Chains A and B, each alone.
Chain A
Amino acid sequence: MKILVLDDEKIVGERLKASLEKDGHALETFINPVAALDRIREKAFDVVITDIRMDDMDGIQILEAVRKKAEKTKVIMITGYATLEVARESLTKGAFDFIAKPFKLKEIRGAIQKAEDALQAEKN
């Protein structure tokens, strides 16, 4: 699957890239939301994984943009500042899943798997 990861902490993208590419996914990682958004406009991703709290733009805006531009793309939110309010807002605005940091890799793998299943189901 084509996955875009956006997190202003570089290490997050690196760690996800290292492990998820082993599962056979193609990853592009970004630390700058604006650059990530440009890339999303150019290319269709299956899954976008985005942090919520970032400097220029927050993850909710990314979510809204993705929902507008690429309806099929599944958005998974990750954040260390998760609150009920933010999580609910994300889900209401169409996020596919919401994962609190710190998380285990298996959680993100599970979410990606579910996204894959959902995409598959939509196709059929």
Chain B
Amino acid sequence: MVTAARPRTKKPNYRWMLHAGLIAGAVLMLYPLLWMIGSSFKPEGQIFSDLNPIPTSLDFSNYIKGWTLGTGVSFTTFYLNSFMICAGAIVGNLFSCSLAAYAFARINFKFKPVLFALMLGTLMLPFHVIVVPQYIIFNTLGWTNSFLPLIVPKFFAVDAFFIFLMVQFIRGIPVELEQAAMVDGCNRGQTFLLIILPLLTPALVTTTIFTFIWTYNDFFGQLLYLNNERKYTVALGLRQFLDASGQSSWGAMFAMTTLSLLPVFVIFLFFQKRLVDGIATTGLKG
């Protein structure tokens, strides 16, 4: 630090340097992304010969080419499939995790501490430990090559992270509200639906956002269960660019990778604060 000797007089200068450093760091971090976005608008020959991410002209032909590349099935199908799986997973998580969270947070039942510890334990269980038996189950049911293996488990609260998130949230809601409802004759089910669920909205929104991002970005599960091109998701569709090692599809590939990042990025723009809060308070992996 040059400023150590006379901090008072040099302080503005120091701030300016800090900002310069931070901006330089940010540009360096984002450069690969900018290069990818720029390349998606460049003609094929220019992509690797040009380090400047800004294209000379805005050419959408890569996007048109990339969208239909592959053998007949276009990205229209892939996006529809991805969004269907995401929607199913979101509904499943909202339904099952909120129910479980209410039980853990508010109701006293037998073996609750044991079950709660078990739930926390599954937070650390690697997916790979359960993947083989799960595959056997879904294979036996004839569910492979369908979206069911990716959606149905969510209806049974397998994402303990969200239960934990909601338990923490419900504990912050004053008990008196429920007591008043119960005095008025509400049973547990009504209390949950009429009192807890509306107050739980922020946690439900966080759950929705993170379920979407995780499901949309998931690759392992989709790779495992979906092997017909008509069932492919965006992630699997993108992988086809690697299989088809045609030299001339870089532009189309960058166009489709750029586009595939858009949904998550839009969510980031709209829900930035909630994402940041979700990570800061529970360590949810963004």
Tell me, yes or no, whether A binds B.
no
Residues of B within 8 A of A (CB): none
